[in-house]
Each structure stands twice: as structure tokens, then as C-alpha cells.
Amino acid sequence: MSVNCLFCRIVKREVPASLVYEDEEVLAFNDISPQAPVHVLVVPKRHMATLNDLTPAEDHLVGRLIRQAAAIAAERGISAGGYRMVLNCNADAGQTVFHIHLHLLGGRPMHWPPG
């Protein structure tokens, strides 16, 4: 855990969030500034700042993040219509919170390429 990290503080319940899912390794909560009707953040409970910190030891955890996001998409009824998963890394991608998080976005048509 990193004391000044916003998402670590959400994991520790020091900052409130609208929780969607929790298990021993993963937490999911609604984004505070949703960019689509469904905008859920799925995070590992353990602090890792960026995708650049991943090692083979995290392969299983990354799989869990993606599969849990897909499960939430199914619960929200957007699986068939489609959805997007986004992982931003560092400045050029617009990362603002330096604790790895997967964005699940859906519930409206989206465009490609992204901005």
C-alpha cells in the first residue's frame, strides 16, 4: 500500500467509493466522473503505479482484472452490445492516478481511434 495513493486509500476505505465488486485481490468501483453510462474502474488491491511495473508474477492478476471487468459488463447487460477496456500508462496516455486501473466503459457507441 502507498499512503498517498488515492486508489490505495479507496481500497483501505479511507476514501469513499461506489463499490461494484471485491475479492481478496481485486476491487471495482464506479468512476467518479463517468465517460459512459457504464464506467467502472477495476484495480488490484496491491499498489503498482503503472503497467511498466508488471512482472510475470502478475500475469494471473492481470487476467483476473480483465475477466472481472467482463463479468461486470455481463451484469450490466452490455456484453452483447459491446464495451471497451482501457489501461492508461503514463503521461502520453493521460494517466492521472498512479495505481494500475482498468477502465470498463460501455452503454453507448464508441469511436476509434481514441483521442
Window 27-66: residues binding ligand 5GP (CB under 6 A): 29, 31-33
Asked if 101 is an active-site residue, the reply is yes
The cell 461494484 sits on which residue? 20
Q: Which is nearer to ligand 5GP, 2 or 95 (CB)?
A: 95
Q: Identify which of residues 64 and 76 has a Cβ nearer to Zn ion in the complex.
A: 64
- Position 6 contacts ligand 5GP (CB under 6 A): yes
**Residue 97 makes contact with ligand 5GP by CB under 6 A:** yes
Say if residues 68 and 101 touch (Cβ distance below 8 Å): no
Active-site choice (47, 101, 103, 111): 101
Would you state the cell numbers that stand for residue 40, as one nine-digit string? Answer: 467502472
Collapsing DSSP to helix, strand or coil, 85 comes out as strand
47 touches, from ligand 5GP, Zn ion, none (C-beta below 5 to 8 Å by class): Zn ion
Q: Assess contact for 114 and 55: CB atoms under 8 A.
A: no
Strand order in the sheet with 26-30: 19-22, 26-30, 38-44, 102-106, 83-86
Rule CB under 6 A: is residue 17 a binding residue for ligand 5GP?
yes
Give the binding site for Zn ion (CB under 5 A): 2, 5, 7-8, 47, 99
